[in-house]
Amino acid sequence: MGNMCYRDYDEEKLLGGQEVKKPESVQGSIMKPKPSGDGQTNEITNQNQTEMTDDPELQVEKDEFIKLSNENTKQLDIASKTQEPEGQGLQTQKVNIDSFRLLKVLGKGSFGKVMLVQYKSNQIAKYYAMKVLQKKNIKNERQKRHTETERIILATCSSIFLVRLRYAFQSQYKLYLVVDYMPGGELFYHLRKVGRFKEDVAKFYAAEILLGLQYLHENHIIYRDLKPENILLDETGHIKLTDFGLSKIMMEEDETAFSLCGTPEYLAPEILTTKTGYDKTCDWWSFGALLYEMLVGAPPHYKENKKEMIRRILTQPIPYPSYLSENARSILEQLLVVDPKKRLGYENDGYDIMKHDFFIGIDMAEIIQHRIQPPYKFDKKELKYFDEGMTKQIAKDTPVNGTLLPNQNFSNFTYQPSMQQGATIKK
């Protein structure tokens, strides 16, 4: 990919209604790498993600985070021992990489890769996505905390709109997260294919995403990395949010966050500018930017030059194409407000957004029960919605060696619940 952005189009072309060819996406819930000068993908962050190094949040949160991690792990260990009676699915063998058949590569990044795997003891074809992280690439306390945060959220949150953790384990040099396999691939894949969604399609996906974000907020979590690549589609076409490495677990109701992290196209202005912190309202800007992209074809003020794009977001009014409906434009104008205190969702979180006229005709009670038919029905052909360049690669657990730093040791990482649910692939 070099210095090219994964989106090679800009707002002038989109607002003019021109059809723009877009490049192939790297699939899988893992960060896309930025090649170094020698062609190797050894950098942790890339041009599409931003992270601040001098961060007061890290100092304030460190001890509290360790306490939370230990408490959650203790609860999970107890639950895994008591959830199922003896003889009704209780896992007695320790899970490791040899417990799985490695089938296909779904995606790669600077941290590691994502593979399609099958748990060997399943009697039927249950498939999962295995995210493999190399410990040597987790080079500082911040990156370690992001990894531990994802492990906690995946294991403790239970929502039909979030990917769930099924197993977690580690070797000397690697971490393994085994999660639900989503045969529909990324929402980005489908959005790229059509250019932009019709309003009724965008409205359906927005409703499910909204409920997923509201669930996180009610569990004191700021997502901080909402984008089409982090929205996966299950075999029936419903969405699930994934990739919680940049999420923030709020210890107190009125706590604020300080990290400059996320993907620039979707970053709320207060994350970029504030020195006093920000709260969960930042997710509603990202939600507005994502909805704008679904309806228009690109995030607001999208530019390949990130500095210019951010300058426009902070200083220039957002252009709205004439083909947007009155209700679509109205909700976008209320979400994409620079002042978070004036943004839709500031007062009553996602409930204010659910009441907007844009969602007229959408029954949220039906949405949350998966009673509304998704707009797309997927061909169940295996791996159709993933990058063919990845899936043709041999899936294997590549040997790694070397010396690890003290911060690259992980305790309380293993997760092995008593019973598992996986996606079924039709052969």
Question: How much is the pLDDT for 189?
Answer: 93
Domain coverage including residue 260: 185-367
Whether 21 is covered by a domain: the verdict is no
Amino acid at 266: Y
Whether 327 is covered by a domain: the verdict is yes
Among the listed residues 55, 63, 77, 225, the single catalytic one is 225
Whether 107 is covered by a domain: the verdict is yes
Q: Which helix (H) or strand (E) holds 424?
A: strand 423-424
What confidence tens digit (pLDDT) does each residue in 176-206 have? 999 999 999 999 999 999 999 999 999 999 9
What confidence tens digit (pLDDT) does each residue in 383-400 have? 889 989 999 999 999 888
Percent of the residues in the chain that have a pLDDT greater than 70, as a whole number: 75
Task: Provide the token pair at 138.
Answer: 């987790």
Between 215 and 54, the higher pLDDT residue: 215
Report the distance separating Cα 116 and Cα 105, nearest Å: 6
- CATH number, position 179: 3.30.200.20
100 with 203, same domain: the answer is: no
**Residue where the block lists tokens 């083909």:** 323
Whether the predicted pLDDT of 101 surpasses 70: yes
* DSSP β-bridge partners for residue 101: 118
Q: How many domains does the chain have?
A: 2
Q: Respond yes or no: is residue 234 known to be catalytic.
A: no
* 67 annotated to a ligand binding site: no
Report the distance separating Cα 384 and Cα 184, nearest Å: 8
Whether the predicted pLDDT of 81 surpasses 70: no
Long-range pairs for 114-123: beta carbons < 8 A, 24 or more residues apart = 114/28, 114/29, 114/30, 115/395, 116/181, 116/383, 116/395, 117/178, 117/395, 119/167, 119/178, 119/420, 119/422, 122/420, 122/422
Rounded average pLDDT over 230-237: 95
Whether the predicted pLDDT of 78 surpasses 50: no
Whether the predicted pLDDT of 22 surpasses 50: no
130 with 273, same domain: the answer is: no
140 with 93, same domain: the answer is: yes
Whether the predicted pLDDT of 58 surpasses 60: no
323 with 405, same domain: the answer is: no
335 with 290, same domain: the answer is: yes
Between 284 and 90, the higher pLDDT residue: 284
**Helix, coil or strand: residue 418:** coil
**Helix, coil or strand: residue 101:** strand
338 with 354, same domain: the answer is: yes
- CATH number, position 289: 1.10.510.10
Q: Which helix (H) or strand (E) holds 165?
A: strand 165-170
Whether the predicted pLDDT of 218 surpasses 90: yes
At 1, the pLDDT band (50, 70, 90 cuts) reads very low
Single pTM value for the model: 0.79
Select from 367, 393, 411 the last residue of a domain. 367
172 with 206, same domain: the answer is: no
SS3 content of the chain, % helix, strand, coil (to 5): 35, 15, 50
Question: How much is the pLDDT for 105?
Answer: 95
Question: How much is the pLDDT for 111?
Answer: 74
Rounded average pLDDT over 216-243: 96
Whether the predicted pLDDT of 39 surpasses 50: no
Question: How much is the pLDDT for 414?
Answer: 93
Non-local (6+) Cβ contacts of 288 within 8 A are: 331, 332, 335, 336
Rounded average pLDDT over 413-422: 69
Whether 202 is covered by a domain: the verdict is yes
174 with 264, same domain: the answer is: no
Whether 261 is covered by a domain: the verdict is yes
At 125, the pLDDT band (50, 70, 90 cuts) reads low
Whether 375 is covered by a domain: the verdict is no
Measuring CA to CA, how many Å separate 139 from each of 53, 56, 364?
12, 19, 43
What confidence tens digit (pLDDT) does each residue in 297-352 have? 999 999 989 999 999 988 999 999 999 999 999 999 999 999 999 999 999 999 99
Whether the predicted pLDDT of 44 surpasses 60: no
27 CB-contact burial (10 Å; exposed 0-12 / middle 13-18 / buried 19+)? buried
Whether 43 is covered by a domain: the verdict is no
Question: How much is the pLDDT for 369?
Answer: 96
Rounded average pLDDT over 152-177: 95
At 93, the pLDDT band (50, 70, 90 cuts) reads confident
205 with 336, same domain: the answer is: yes
173 with 96, same domain: the answer is: yes
What count of other Cβ atoms lies within 10 Å of the Cβ of residue 105? 23
171 with 318, same domain: the answer is: no
Question: How much is the pLDDT for 122?
Answer: 63
255 with 119, same domain: the answer is: no
Rounded average pLDDT over 248-273: 89
What confidence tens digit (pLDDT) does each residue in 357-387 have? 999 999 999 999 999 999 987 776 778 899 8
* DSSP β-bridge partners for residue 240: 232
